[in-house]
Each structure stands twice: as structure tokens, then as C-alpha cells.
Structure 1
Amino acid sequence: FERRNFLIRSIAEVQRVEGLEEAEVYNIYAAKIFQTAMPQSSIRPRVMSFVAENGGIESDLYSIEYVPRSGRNKGLVYEQFYKGENFRLFAWLRDVAEERDGVLFKKEMRGTYWDYASETKNLTKEGGVEFKNGKKPLSMLRRILGMQPDKDMMVLDFFAGSSTTAHAVMQLNAEDEGNRRFIMVQLPEPVSEHSEALKAGVATVADISRKRIKLAGEKILATSPITTQSLDTGFRAYTLADTNFTKWRAESDVETNVLEQHLLDLRDSADDNATPESLLVELLLKQGYSLTEEVGDADISGLRLKSVGGGLVLAYLDEHAKPTLQQLREVLDSPDLVKFVILEDAFKGDDELKANLAQEAKSRNVELWTA
């Protein structure tokens, strides 16, 4: 580690002699440690040529001084070191490291966009969909995501395009058993009237995005059926829409506060044309639930319900059929039930039924929502 006489010892030897952990060795001796993970300098060929022209110099380590014409050392006398017959470029660890909160992090070159430039030539139909504008190589986005240590992260792409990002997330999960998730956002921009996509029945860029995610998931599962048995390649698609419930028109600060405290206590009916799925999504969002909650169907005592979280939440969203109190009691008796949602319109103005349901829910310690 002595810079002047080039007495070099291994990290392992320093650890053994001084009783240090590897990270401690790097932090203490950052200004004295050589490493060879640097890209080769343009000076290297001249050093090799000089050594060859002078009949070879018997040394395992070479030192040169020069004045760079550009870069951070421009105009300064700069020292470089080479090792072995292959003239591997040496650098001080401190020159290729960054200190954050007292911890030294070694930087490594992970490539540039130009490493993937050749792959942009055949991108038009990568992922099984045609998309000519702004498509990025799958391998490049996979590399970018792979540089992040968190295998459970959420990846958000506000300009999804053909959803290469979603494809890369699923591909990376298949390779390292990660649990990354993605949110893709894309306007329903019409595709070109002359495009192959339109001929295939795909009308918007958002449609292209959804199609690619579906095809990518199928391909990943088919390519490695043994290692991807537990891989989740499913997704849900949502569009921005107005509320399915009559909007609350607050007439005073008091009403505004009530609205903030009771988002579901709406005074008017649901949209007659709204589907149960649309109503449920809006209700769950208003209560802070995720768009990825487990949602299914349930049939209890002849009532068709929506089940959330394996039965923790049940919702009766049929505004056209009035249930009986006995049917509602059987719903409330569901073993895992924590919350029960029912549309206000389902009572058909029967305040007695509504009051009885509230009392039954309270006696069972089930939270009741009316919407």
C-alpha cells in the first residue's frame, strides 16, 4: 500500500494482519489501494509501444506521467499505472469511489446508451407489437432496473408507449425471483391509420401497451415453465372516469368537513348504468385500498356479492334488487367478514331495513358502509 515503493498487499492480508472487515479496509486505505476495474486509457497503447521498442522492461508494474488535454485533470501532471504483460490500467480506489455519509462506495461502469444502439435497428416489433416511435430496447430497460437493489420496488412509467418497462419488470422477476410491480400510464392516442396495428384491430397506443404486457407475460411463462410457476404476470387496466355516484355539492364548511370524514356517506344514488366492478373500484379507492386487491365473486343466500381480500370485505352493489333482512344476516355471518358495503338504493327507501341492518352489523362487530 505504500504509494512510493509500490509495496502491494492483498485486501485479505490486511484484514488478517490488522483484524479488519473488508469494508473497513477500503474506508481506511482508500487513498492507497489500487484497483483495475477502470476502462482502458488512450495512453495505454503508447506505454505498450514504448516498452516494446526498448526491448522490454522487466517489471510487473509501470508508472507514467502525462498532462491530459481534457477532463478533470486537464493541464495537470497526472500519474497512471499499469500492471502485467496485458498492461491493465490501475487507478486509486479514491478516484473511482464516492463517499456518502462516511461510507465509501466504489463506482463501476455499467454501460451507456450506445452499448444498446445496435439493438434499436430491429425494435419495431419487439415484444410482439408494432410501435415505431420512441421504443426502447428491452435489454436496456432490464439493465437499468437490474441496477436497483430493491427487488420489491414499484416501477412507474408515465409514458408507457408499448410498455417495454412492464416487459422488463416481468423479465427481471423471472430471472431473479423478484417481486417488482409496475404502473404504466398511457393516453389512448390513436395509432396511425396506415399502421399494421390498426389493421390488426388495435386502435390506440394504450391498446398496444396492454397487448404487449399480455404477450410478454405469456412468452415468459412459456419459455421457462418450471422456474416461473409462481411468477405473477397478470395486470389490471383502468381508465380515468368521472364518479359513478352523484357528486356531493358542499354548501358550507360544515358539510365539507363531513364529506372529508365520511367519503362513502353519499346522499344520492349510484349511476344506473354503472357496473358493479366500476362501483367497487371507486368505493375501494375512496377508502384507501389498492387497485391490486384480490377481488372475486361470492353468492350468499341468493345474493350476488363482490368479495375483496378473500372475504374480508363483501359488497352488495345491485341497486335494482332489494335484499331481505334474513339474507343480509347470512351475509354478516360470513366467517372472515370485517366490512360490508351496500348501496343506499338497495334499501328502496326502507329505513326500517337499513336500521335493522346497522344493528345486526354492530352486534357482529362488522363495519357497515352505505354508499
Structure 2
Amino acid sequence: MKPNKLELSSVDGIQLNLEALYQIAPSCFTEVKDDKTGELRHVVNFKTLRQLLGDNAVEDADEMYQFTWPGKQEARREAARPTTKTLRPVVEDSVDWDNTQNLYIEGDNLEVLKLLQKSYMGKVKMIYIDPPYNTGNDFVYDDDFAVSQDDYDLFSGDVDELGNRYRKNTDSNGRFHSDWCSMMYPRLMVARSLLAEDGVIFISIGQGEVTNIVKECDEIFGSTNRISIVSRLMKSGGGKGQFFSPNVEYIIIYAKSISNVVGFREEISEEVIKKLYTSIETEGARKGEKYRPFGLYQSSLDARPNQRYFIECPDGSFVIPPGKTMPCSVEDGAMVYPNSDDGCWRWSRDRYLEEKANGNITFKKSDGVLVDQFGQPAKWNIYTKIWLADRQEGGATPVDLITKWENRQSAKELSELGIPFDFAKPIGLIRYLIALMPNTFNSIILDFFSGSSTTAHAVMQLNSEDGGNRKYIMVQLPEETPEDSEARKAGYDTIPEIAKERIRRAGKKIKEESPLTTQKLDTGFRVFRLADSNFEEVKKAPEEYDQSQLDLFLNNVKSDRTDLDLLFGAMLSWGVQLSLPMTSEEVDGKMIYSVNDGDLVACFADDITENIVKAMADKQPLRVLFRDSCFARDDAKINVFETLKQLLDWSEEEAIKNIKVI
């Protein structure tokens, strides 16, 4: 046997859907012969699937609830369509390349998300995006799925070096909302596949498309997985607007699977601490701790038979929540069965005694809320102690209105770094959203509309404060800065140039100011740039080529591509994460690369020797990769295959799976 070719395209979304359906309903699948390959493949028998669904299926009902727009079908197809593009490493733009686990990727985010699927599917804990708000001026990405090819060609002058079309989506466009929906839909579909089962996506959005993004997310994530629609004060004041001055935007929040998501908790602010946690314990095990007194009596609760009883106060008197019938003589704990309009305590008698024994009850002079055994206003009130330390550990439930971190703060934050850029999100807002989610310490945070990379800044800032090891992936189209902008005057021709410099300066500043400087704080990032395939397209039949072109069949790697280009392209194709550490070793004058101590071992040099093969096997690799041109003849390829199989004690099936060529 000889090693097979490595599949170089991204995930096929249709195949993913088939695999998911097969897990649920394998009986609706059958086999047919593929006309192109001659091999058998699985296909869906719709008749059987319909039988499984019974009456719960619909095709062309006259009336049914649905959200649609011109171009939706093509947008859905585009989400499933694989890409043959790749990501090229840009070491010279990176910081701490060898050690960092953070990624910054330049390129159209739809293509990039597809490329990340094999390596990061189900591994991203949180996604935050701040997409274009579609105001009539905002940048819109290159895909316009509803137009014909002829119409598409009309825009062919507005392309970048990769062939991506980009233009403004003005409000004079008759397909103003449809274009925006078609741009967002496939990106959200692919992004969902990257989320972990307990993952959450946060989407900042303005009023213009809030209803459409909610409908899209209800369809893609499921309406039952909608966590909230949060209002956010983006600015205060202002005199613009005919009826209202726009001061509010929204954050739409969805879970991959809401049943797997632990409730959000926020930090208790200093303002709340100063206002509510005003008491300090004077004795016992919690002496010196702050607490908040909270009344044991609550009139808003329904009267409960076991939660209305007398409590003895420090002066020997007895108190009880107010009610109609009161006996003249009682003792501590005497039960009074309430009428429907009688008050009661929040806790049962047993719970009260337990909390009192633990020092969680306090008595204070009364304001007349409670009554004594004679039905008169009591001299005491009874409070439970809500300990600040306990609340800080568990956090507080956030409200769905965010009033901090107005947008204008971001201009100051960037100005302090010497970066000229407007309209970024404040660091505090993104930091707050990340901190809401529990168990993110070692998680991956993704932002695929990353702009100036506020999200990367916020991740580093939060890590510096709590010792976390969160990693980020930033994706941004190389949009040019306006010619007359301060950014262009300062030498920043594109948004990624601004973002990369911001991360560099922010990381340096955070390290200088961080109280955790003795710990390892990752402020580096690996830069990648979206590019066409590393390989020349060979579409003609061999007889159509002249003699000078026949070497394309032996070596179809583009002349400007390096070993690192090939290595990272293979990592994407094989599902190996781009942030993993790597080493290189020279044997017999040829370079051997090892990713994450053997996750992938590769050699792309010509004339592979026996020493090279043995050195690769010594690393106990999980995967082995060569260039096809490493071997002068097929018999050399077969010999290497058999040698590795023997040295690594792999079965034939394991060797076929783990040894590949490109």
C-alpha cells in the first residue's frame, strides 16, 4: 500500500448534515452508486424519512409561519459549500509566535469560518460579534446570494486580491434588508458548528436589523435556545433624530444548547457594596465580614401554614408577621395558622433555627412592620444576613439593561494607546460579557467581525485580572481605512493593521500594569492571512499539457509557498488546531516539523532517507505527512509507508488513516 492524498478542502456542510441525520434516523439512509467515483455512498430515502416523521412534515402548505427573503436558499447553500482556500502564516506580523495560543486572521470571515470547522468544531465557548448595522453606509461583505451571475459581474470591479467583492449597501438599494440577511445567515450557520455544547453567542445590533437577526437566530439556533435580548445604553444625550434621539442598541444572546448552559452571574459592583453591604459582623467565626441585612418577613409571599410562628426577641418579647387573629400569651416557636391575608416568614421554623445557630440572624429596633403577641406594633424587626463574601463568590444575577461603558469610552481607550480609530466597542463591555459566563478560564473566545480587536484586548485584560488562560481567535476582512481618516494619515491602510498594532500595544501595557506579572500571561498572537489554495489547479487532462507543464502532476505546489504554508494548510485539513506549539529538526539536511510533540509530524523535502523516516517515527506521531514530490517513484512511497507502519506498530487501516501526502 501507499499513503493516500490528504483532503484539502474545508468541511462539506451537506455531509455534516447527513452525518447528524444518520445519528438520529439511520433507517432512512440507503446506498447508491456514485456516477463519478463508482463507489457506494449513503443517501437519504425521503419516502422512509417521511414515514418516520408521520404527520409532522410539511412541504408546500398554503399557510405556514416562516421567515424568508430573496436569496435565502442560496445563502443556505453557501453555508454548506466547502472552500479550497487556505490560511497562510504571517510570522513577521505576529508576537511571540512560538508560545502564543491566540490567533489573528485576515480575510473574509465566511471563508475563514469554514476553514476553522475541522479544527475548532464544538470547541469555542463564546462568540461575540458586532456586525455591520446596515444603516445605509456600513460596509457589507462580498456575498450577494440572490443576484444572477450577470448582475454579480456588474460589481466585479470592486474586488480585493482574493476576488472578494466588497461594497456599500446603501438604503437606495431595493434589496437593502435582503442583502444584509443573506450576508449574516451563512456566517451564523457555520459559527454555530464551532460553538461548544455549552457555548453562547452574543451579537451586538442596532434597531435597523434587530428583528431580522432575531428571526435568523431563532431559525439557526432554535427559539428555545434564545437566552435574552439585552438593551444597552451606547450613549447618553444627543439631539439627533426626528422623534427620539437613538441612545440604545441591543445584544442578542443565544446558546448552542440552553440546557447545557449554567446561569450567568456578574460581579457585585463597588457601588452596590457601598450602598447595601453596610453592616459588619462583630463576633463569631465571621467577625469583621460585611453583610447586608434582609428582612425575614415578606408580605408578598403567600401565607404558608408552617411559616407563621412567634420568634422571641432579645428583650423577651415575641414577634410575628401581622395577621388578624393573635393570642394573648405565647411562647417562642408557637405556631399560628394563617388566614389567606396573613403574613408569614420567608423560612420555616426549622430553617430559621438552623440559620440562627449559624449566626445568620440579627435583631434590630423595629419600624413597626411586625406585631407582638398582643397585636401591637413590635419593638423589633428580624433580619437574615446576606454575606458579601458569599455573594461575591457566587455572583449576582445580571439585569437585561446595561448602562455602563458607553461607546465614547472606547475612543479614549484607543487614544491612550496612540491608536486613531472610532466606533469601537468599550473594553469593559466585552470583558463584562465574558465574565458573565462561568467556567471560561481555559476557553476559546471567537470574534469574526473583530474590527479594532476590542475582544482580544478584553480577553487579555480579564486574564490579567483573574489569572485565566482564555484564548482568542480574531477574524477581520482587510477593509481599507478611509483615505481622509486619521488612521490613514497615521499609516494604517487597513483595519487589520490597526487591530494588530492595538493588540501589540495593549498586551505590552497590560503586562506592565498586571498584578500577575509573575505568572505566564499570553499577550502574543499568531497572524494568518486568507489566501487561495497552496496548490495549482490541474483541470486539464494530461494529454492537453505540453511537456513543460507535465511537472504540475508531480509537483503542483505554488512557487511562492513555504513549508509553513503547507504545514498549516495540512493542519486545517486534518483538524489540528492552529495555536499548537511546534518544533523543527534537521536530519540528513532535511527539515522535519513536529506539531504539539507528535500530533502531526511532517517532512516536505525531496529524497526522503531512511534516517528521516526513523527520526519521524521516533516522535511517536499521531499523523504523518509528506509532499508527493518527496518520492521519485511509487515504490519509494510504498517503502516509506511500510516502514512507518512497522516502526509505529500500526495496522494497515491505521496506517492508511494516519499517513498522508499532499
The alignment's TM-score, normalised by the length of structure 2, stands at 0.37
In structure 1, which of residues 12, 17, 26 is the aligned counterpart of residue 353 of structure 2? 17
State the Cα distance separating 1:130 from its structure 2 match. Answer: 1.6
Aligned residue in 2 for 1:332:
616
In structure 1, which of residues 294, 312, 315 is the aligned counterpart of residue 581 of structure 2? 294
State the Cα distance separating 1:128 from its structure 2 match. Answer: 3.9
Aligned residue in 1 for 2:660:
369
In structure 2, which of residues 616, 626, 649 is the aligned counterpart of residue 342 of structure 1? 626
Aligned residue in 1 for 2:562:
275
State the Cα distance separating 1:120 from its structure 2 match. Answer: 5.0
Give the Cα separation in 2 of the matches to 1:107 and 1:221: 31
Classify the secondary structure of the residue corresponding to 1:183: strand
Corresponding letter in the other structure for 1:295? M
Corresponding letter in the other structure for 1:297? S
**Aligned: 1:359 with 2:642:** yes
Please list the CA deviations of residues 91-111 of structure 1 after superposition, one character each: whole Å capped at 9, or x if unmatched.
xxxxxxxxxxxxxx9744486
Equivalent residues in 2 for 1:304-343 (5 A)? 304-318=591-605, 322-343=606-627
Quickly say closer, same or farther: Cα 1:139–1:343, change in 2 above 3 A: same
Aligned residue in 1 for 2:460:
170
Quickly say closer, same or farther: Cα 1:281–1:118, change in 2 above 3 A: closer
Give the Cα separation in 2 of the matches to 1:308 and 1:359: 23
8 Å Cα contact 1:332/1:364 also seen in 2: no
Give the Cα separation in 2 of the matches to 1:248 and 1:12: 79
Corresponding letter in the other structure for 1:284? M
**Aligned: 1:220 with 2:510:** yes
Corresponding letter in the other structure for 1:307? S
Corresponding letter in the other structure for 2:643? E
Equivalent residues in 2 for 1:1-371 (5 A)? 3=298, 5=321, 15=351, 17=353, 60=367, 107-109=397-399, 112-114=402-404, 116=406, 119-120=409-410, 122-132=412-422, 134-151=423-440, 152-224=442-514, 226-227=516-517, 229-247=519-537, 269-318=556-605, 322-347=606-631, 349-365=632-648, 367-371=658-662
Quickly say closer, same or farther: Cα 1:190–1:62, change in 2 above 3 A: farther
State the Cα distance separating 1:370 from its structure 2 match. Answer: 1.3
State the Cα distance separating 1:11 from its structure 2 match. Answer: 6.7
Quickly say closer, same or farther: Cα 1:210–1:13, change in 2 above 3 A: farther
State the Cα distance separating 1:313 from its structure 2 match. Answer: 2.3
Quickly say closer, same or farther: Cα 1:245–1:178, change in 2 above 3 A: same
Give the Cα separation in 1 of the matches to 2:412 and 2:464: 24
Please list the CA deviations of residues 219-273 of structure 1 after superposition, one character each: whole Å capped at 9, or x if unmatched.
212223754531222212222222112458699xxxxxxxxxxxxxx98632232
Please list the CA deviations of residues 76-121 of structure 1 after superposition, one character each: whole Å capped at 9, or x if unmatched.
xxxxxxxx9xxxxxxxxxxxxxxxxxxxx97444862455366356
| Superposition CA RMSD, Å | 3.7
Corresponding letter in the other structure for 2:467? E
8 Å Cα contact 1:160/1:186 also seen in 2: yes
8 Å Cα contact 1:174/1:228 also seen in 2: no
Per mean C-alpha deviation after superposition, the further-off stretch among 221-230 and 169-178 is 221-230
Give the Cα separation in 2 of the matches to 1:309 and 1:124: 36
Please list the CA deviations of residues 30-68 of structure 1 after superposition, one character each: whole Å capped at 9, or x if unmatched.
xxxxxxxxxxxxxxxxxxxxxxxxxxxx952669xxxxx
Q: Percent identity?
A: 31
Aligned residue in 2 for 1:87:
none
Quickly say closer, same or farther: Cα 1:60–1:128, change in 2 above 3 A: farther
Quickly say closer, same or farther: Cα 1:216–1:110, change in 2 above 3 A: farther
Please list the CA deviations of residues 299-349 of structure 1 after superposition, one character each: whole Å capped at 9, or x if unmatched.
22321122211244221123xxx22433333323424333321100122x3
Quickly say closer, same or farther: Cα 1:122–1:325, change in 2 above 3 A: closer
8 Å Cα contact 1:303/1:323 also seen in 2: no
Classify the secondary structure of the residue corresponding to 1:237: strand
8 Å Cα contact 1:312/1:338 also seen in 2: yes
Give the Cα separation in 2 of the matches to 1:62 and 1:213: 57
Quickly say closer, same or farther: Cα 1:315–1:139, change in 2 above 3 A: same
Give the Cα separation in 2 of the matches to 1:13 and 1:172: 44
Classify the secondary structure of the residue corresponding to 2:406: helix
Give the Cα separation in 2 of the matches to 1:118 and 1:241: 36
Quickly say closer, same or farther: Cα 1:124–1:211, change in 2 above 3 A: closer
Corresponding letter in the other structure for 1:142? R
The alignment's TM-score, normalised by the length of structure 1, stands at 0.63
Corresponding letter in the other structure for 1:60? D
Give the Cα separation in 2 of the matches to 1:61 and 1:279: 79
* Runs of at least 5 residues in structure 2 that lack an aligned partner in the other structure: 1-295, 300-320, 323-342, 359-364, 371-379, 381-394, 542-552, 651-657
8 Å Cα contact 2:536/2:558 also seen in 1: yes
Classify the secondary structure of the residue corresponding to 2:530: coil
8 Å Cα contact 2:452/2:495 also seen in 1: yes
Classify the secondary structure of the residue corresponding to 2:507: helix
Give the Cα separation in 2 of the matches to 1:249 and 1:15: 78
